[in-house]
Amino acid sequence: MSADTRRQKAERIRHLLDTEGDAVHENTQVFNEGRYESTANLDDYDELKNEARAIKEDAIERLPELVDQVTEAVEANGGSVYVADDAADANRYIEEVVDGRDVVKSKSMTSEEIEVNESLEARDGDVWETDLAEFVLQVADEAPSHIVAPAIHKSREEIAALFNEVFDPEEPLETAEELTRFAREYLGEKILDAEVGMTGANFVTADTGTLALVTSEGNARKCVQATDTHVAVAGVEKLVPSVEDLQPFVELIGRSGTGQDITSYISLFTPPSDSPTFGGNELESGDDREFHLVLIDNGRMEMREDDQLRETLYCIRCSACANSCANFQHVGGHAFGGETYSGGIATGWEAGVHGEDSAAEFNDLCTGCSRCVNQCPVNIDIPWINTVVRDRINRGEDGDFDFLVEGLTPDEEPGGVDLQKRLFGNFDTLAKLGSAFAPLSNWAARTGPARSLLERTLGVDSRRELPEFERESLVEWFEKRGPHVGRDEARRQVALYPDAYTNYVRTERGKAAVRVLEALDIRVDVPPAGESGRAPLSQGMVSTAQSNADAVYDALAPAIAAGHDVVVIEPSDLAMFHREYERLLPEDDYAALHEQSYELMEYVYGLLENGGDIDVLPGGDDERIAYHSHCQQRTLDLEPYTVAVLEDCGFDVTTSDVECCGMAGSFGYKSEYYELSVDVGETLVDEFTTEDTADRTVVASGTSCLEQLDALLTRRPAHPVRLLDTQ
Amino acid sequence: MSAEAIATFESSLDEIGVELVRTTADEFASTLSPLLDAPTVGTSLPFETVSLPDSVDTDPSIADLEAAATGVTAAGYGIADYGSVIIQGGTDGEEPVSLYADEHVAVVAASDVLPDMDATFDQLAEDIRNGVGQSIIATGPSATADMGSLVTGAHGPMDVTVVLLEDK
């Protein structure tokens, strides 16, 4: 990426932060908090998710069979099914059915995907969006910015201004209620006049040909009831085997999307409907109503054959991934989307239906924080899909190889990988060099010319402070010092994993970890294991990540074989061991490392629970602490251990509840994303500068979080283990 | 249906701002009347000895539908856990009558209140296989937050009342 491209990208993000950021932030927060609350009320949330996942896996596996089955069912009911290869094919068929008549539509992203409105309008028919958000966008001539709430980026004031200008009502519209009434009446007339009703379908049951539509407004029902012809447009992946299979989805979709236990209407239509239709002035028999189900392939059958993209087809378009994404919350779907889809899973959709170029536009905005992972009602590993697509995009780039950087980058990637990605993906090598030449390297890197060169050639933002490398690495320190607990008196033996940051930059937290573990009678070793692969993985450099993973496993294998525990300080590395290594290591190696590895404070908690003497640790004496857990640590549900240990030691702890600090490894260093990173970070800062938190000592588990807090707060934050260290 | 399920139904309805009015077949007429704001449209009820008062227009024109203050229909089922009512039926016009009036009054028999979604989908699957072409699981009034804050009555009713026939 050139410096100019970076600048343009930064400008576009800044513009969206200024114009749409506030509305998106406010509205996604409501959905996001609603989801946490509503899903917490489900006794069997995980069970429902597993059930939903299993249904989708089975349906996609048997998709060709289900297409045949639904065709039979719909035809037996008196309707037609058309399987369209692509957008053009679908539009051709729909145009024939519509035949120039007026159409009223309810919201459907699949119909956005094929751009059916443009196709029909070119044939002189009127097409009206009756979903109020879609109507706003139609009037404003804008694209959706969210898959569930397409006009989420618009404030009430903006909508009022738009309506007042376009419709010029006698009394200017102002309140949400006035705007809603106006749109309802305006669209009511369109519904009355139209002869064709078009809907999407959230699910289609193969056994009965039933469409399930999840809505709140009632417009989809009106579009079907008031018209003589119903055209439903759905991706082939919307098929589920039977009506009974709808149950887990109905319980999950509203909660996952907007945080409602259930939306106002779940309509199960088995068309053609015999409900009376609108004639001139009277209700007339609906017995002659026509029904056309248009099932769209448009790349989906190929996605089904693709081992990495297949999971995308399990998506039920609830938007939980977008709503739980810190970056999305700040910048919205106009930055975070391709031709049609926006938000977390959109990379998978865009790569599958529109190709990698469309996905490339926003793929880098996923920082891999993994907050979406537990929010997905069908357990899709969305960050992994984003990583794979990033890797494919990298491989598709033309070579721009620079031998200066090659020297620093002993990786497994093809020459085309962007220099900036290559730099951050090889952080371990960089840190090793930085440490070997410290303090000279720190001084040199900080000079004006060096910073400007870094910014120009590699896109490292000069406003961001660089990490300061320690001359003596944690591993070297430990080699000299040796363990302080003898084998005979040790309760357990531990390999403390020296992640690249702890090893070369934040050695103090590594040393504190060693001392705290030793105070609890643990014999500690610090084996020289390299970087976990998190750094290259986050740049989409999957082969490099894989070779790093192999090297880390080899370094830890003796400890694992001896039955020692592996203790990890950096949560993103523990997340590698527990999540991504499943895809990078041989099955048995992954299982062994997963089984035996723990986050540092989780481990301390376990020691204290199992007879460890808490009195050897310094007492908190009611010291007031503001703790920011790490996003990946929270995904693994490890935050409670740190809080419990600190509270048991006598600290008064409050925690942040933002999804992510916004620094996200290399993300916050990149000049094109620096401002977004800071904007996200400010939300965390707001939580830590309230009346209750402003004077609290700040602790955070992740390196990135510490860097972000350090940059944005006046108080210097530390890793929580340092509160337990006697030195 | 157990008293417990009915109590759950009532509290679920309460949470979504829907009033549950309990009555019996004998007292239905006198219970219903005060709930109806004129003009009123409706579809005939499938419960023995229970019928709509004459003031209810059961053969409305489109203009009558749009002007109606209240629409009365039977509901096929209630779902206790969610406070939902299920609008079934077809040619009589349950769909437009329940959708166009400002307020929908849904009449449900106590024996048709199902405990949860599992039971509901078992029942709905059977109904669909038996030819019921339309089942709307309706929970509270229509709503939208698209105009900047939550507004009810987006394209459908802005109020819902459930009348429970305790002896049916």
Which chain A residues are Cβ-neighbours of B139 within 8 angstroms?
A: 261-265
Segment A692-721, tens digit of pLDDT: 999 999 999 999 999 999 999 999 999 999
The DSSP secondary structure of A426-446, one letter per residue, reads THHHHHHHHHHTTTHHHHHHH
ipTM: 0.98
CA distance B87 to chain A (A): 9
What is the tens place of the pLDDT at every residue in A524-566? 999 999 999 999 999 999 999 999 999 999 999 999 999 999 9
Q: How far is A511 from chain B (nearest CA, A)?
A: 52
Please name the member of B117, B135, B151 whose beta carbon is closest to the beta carbon of A251: B117
Percent of chain A whose predicted confidence (pLDDT) is above 70: 98
So what's the pLDDT on residue A348?
97
Q: How much is the average pLDDT of B79-99?
A: 95
Q: What is the mean pLDDT of the segment spanning A338-342?
A: 95
Q: Where are the beta strands (DSSP E) in A554-668?
A: 565-568, 597-599, 624-628, 652-655
Indicate the DSSP class of residue A282. B
How much of chain A, in percent, has pLDDT values that exceed 90?
A: 87
State how far the Cα of A536 lies from the Cα of A666, in Å rounded to an integer.
10
Percent of chain B clearing pLDDT 90 (strictly above): 91
- Using alpha carbons, list the distances in angstroms from residue A358 to A321, A556, A667: 19, 41, 21
Which is higher by pLDDT, A518 or B1?
A518
Question: Cβ contacts (< 8 Å) between A213 and chain B: which residues?
Answer: none
Contacts of B148 in chain A (CB under 8 A): 155-157, 159, 176, 179
Please report residues of A whose CB lies closer than 8 A to that of B132.
270
Q: Does A267 touch chain B (CB under 8 A)?
A: yes
Fold of A1-41+308-396: Fumarate Reductase Iron-sulfur Protein; Chain B, domain 2 (1.10.1060)
Is it the case that residue A396 has pLDDT exceeding 50? yes
Cα–chain center distance at A87: 27
Residue A400 has pLDDT above 60, yes or no: no
Long-range (24+ apart) CB contacts under 8 A made by B1-9 are B1/B110, B1/B111, B1/B112, B1/B113, B5/B80, B5/B113, B5/B114, B5/B115, B6/B80, B6/B110, B6/B113, B6/B164, B6/B166, B8/B80, B8/B81, B8/B115, B9/B78, B9/B79, B9/B80, B9/B83, B9/B113, B9/B164
Question: Stretch A440-447: mean pLDDT, rounded?
Answer: 82
Tally Cβ neighbours within 10 Å of residue A289: 22
Amino acid B10: pLDDT: 97
**pLDDT the model gives residue A122:** 85
| CA quadruple A699, A702, A704, A705: dihedral sign | negative
What average pLDDT does this structure show over A624-646? 97
Tell me the chain A residues in contact with residue B158 when contact means C-beta distances shorter than 8 Å.
Answer: none
Q: Which two tokens stand for residue A34?
A: 């609603």
Whole-number CA gyration radius for chain A: 28
CB-based contact A281 B155, cutoff 8 Å: no
Which chain A residues are closer than 8 Å to B146 by Cβ? 131-133, 136, 149, 151, 180
Contact between B96 and A275 using a beta-carbon 8 Å cutoff:
yes
Question: A-contacting residues of B 50-89, CB under 8 Å?
Answer: 60-63, 65-66, 82, 84
Distance CA A249, CA A378 (A): 9
Task: Of A556, A552, A701, give the one whose Cα is nearest residue A635.
Answer: A701
Mean predicted lDDT score pLDDT of chain A: 94
What is the predicted pLDDT for the residue at A407? 52
Rounded Cα–Cα distance for residues A457 and A544 (Å): 22
Q: Where are the alpha helices (DSSP H) in A230-381?
A: 246-257, 300-305, 320-323, 326-331, 346-353, 356-360
Pick from A372, A64, A76: nearest CA to A237: A64
Q: What is the pLDDT of residue A671?
A: 95
User: What local confidence, expressed as pLDDT, does residue B90 receive?
Assistant: 86
> Mapping DSSP to helix (H, G, I), strand (E, B) and coil, where does residue A522 land?
strand
Min distance A155 CA to chain B CA atoms (Å): 6
Contact status, residue A328 vs residue A31, Cβ threshold 8 Å: no
Looking at residue A402, its pLDDT comes to: 47
Report CB contact under 8 Å: A242, B149.
no
Closest-CA residue of chain B to A148: B146
Per-residue pLDDT for A215 more than 90?
Answer: yes
Chain B within 8 Å of A132 (Cβ-Cβ)? yes
- Decide: A423 and A409 in contact? Cβ < 8 Å: yes
Q: In one letter, which amino acid is A726?
A: T
Following DSSP, what letter does each residue of B112-140 receive, concatenated? Answer: GEESSHHHHHHHHHHHHHTT--EEEEE-S
pLDDT of residue A433: 83
Cβ–Cβ of B93/A275 closer than 8 Å? yes
Residues 133-192 of chain A with CB under 8 A from chain B are 133, 136, 149, 151, 155-157, 159, 176-177, 179-181, 183-184, 187-188, 192
Structural domain tally of chain B? 1
Q: How far apart are CA A75 and CA A90, in angstroms?
A: 19
Residues A190 and A127: beta-carbon distance below 8 Å: no
Do B94 and A261 count as a contact with CB atoms less than 8 A apart? no
Mean pLDDT of B112-119: 96
- Asked if the Cβ–Cβ distance from B154 to A216 is below 8 Å, we say yes
CA distances (Å), B120 to each of A43, A45, A61, A246, A267, in order? 18, 18, 27, 11, 13
Q: Would residue A39 be called left, alpha or beta, if left means φ above 0 and alpha means ψ between -120 and 50 degrees?
A: alpha
Average pLDDT of the residues in A483-508: 96
Nearest residue, CB atoms, A276 vs list B82, B91, B124? B91
Contacts of B135 in chain A (CB under 8 A): 267-268
Residues 654-713 on A with a CB inside 8 Å of B are: none
Which of A120-129, A208-217, A344-353, A413-422 shows the lowest per-residue confidence on average (mean pLDDT)?
A413-422
Q: How far is B96 from chain A (nearest CA, A)?
A: 7
pLDDT of residue A403: 45
Mutate to test the interface with A, among B147, B149, B160 (most CBs of A within 10 A): B147
Mean residue pLDDT of chain B comes to 95
A94 vs A455, higher pLDDT:
A94
B153 in A contact zone (CB under 8 Å): yes
Closest chain A CA to residue B90: A275
pLDDT digits (tens, 9 = 90+) for A657-689: 999 999 998 999 999 999 999 999 999 999 999
Torsion of CA A304, A307, A309, A311, to 10 degrees: 80
Q: Do strands A196-199 and A565-568 pair parallel, antiparallel, or not at all (unpaired)?
A: unpaired
Q: Are A264 and B156 inside 8 Å of each other by CB?
A: yes
A173, closest residue in chain B (CA to CA): B147
Closest-approach residue (CA) in chain B for A227: B96
Partners of residue B154 in chain A, C-beta under 8 Å:
132, 180, 184, 216-219
The answer to whether the CB of A580 falls within 8 A of the CB of A373 is no
Split at pLDDT 50, 70, 90, the class of A409 is low
Q: Which amino acid is at A15?
A: H
DSSP alpha helix (H) spans, A115-235: 116-121, 132-140, 156-167, 176-193, 219-225
- Predicted local confidence at residue B143, as pLDDT: 92
Q: In this predicted structure, which of A138-152, A158-172, B34-48, B137-151 has the lowest mean pLDDT?
A: B137-151
Confidence of residue A399 (pLDDT cuts 50, 70, 90): very low
Buried b (16+ CB within 10 A) or exposed e, B74-96: bbbbbbbbbbbbbbbbbebbbbb
Question: Residue ranges per domain, chain A?
Answer: 1-41+308-396, 53-300, 474-724
- Closest Cα of chain B to A311: distance in Å? 26
Nearest to A336 by CA among A364, A308, A310, A313: A364
* Inter-chain touch B151–A180, beta carbons under 8 Å: yes
Contact A343, A147 (CB under 8 A): yes
| Among B63, B124, B147, beta carbon nearest to A156 | B147
The burial of A713, by beta-carbon neighbours within 10 Å (0-12 exposed, 13-18 middle, 19 or more buried), is given as middle
Calculate the CA A185 to chain-centre distance: 38
Q: How far is CA A544 from CA A411, A446, A536, in A?
A: 5, 29, 6
| Residue-number span of the structural domain to which B130 is assigned | 3-165
* Distance separating alpha carbons of residues B73 and B88, to the nearest angstrom: 10
pLDDT at A404: 46
Pick from B66, B137, B144: CB nearest A216: B144
pLDDT (mean) for B110-116? 96
Of the given ranges (A322-331, A440-449, B82-91, B151-160), which has the lowest mean pLDDT?
A440-449
Q: Which CATH architecture has domain A53-300?
A: 3-Layer(aba) Sandwich (3.40)
Q: Residue B119 sits in a domain of what CATH number?
A: 3.40.50.10420
Q: What is residue B3's predicted lDDT score, i.e. its pLDDT?
A: 85
Q: What angle do CA A206, A302, A306 make, to 5 degrees?
A: 105
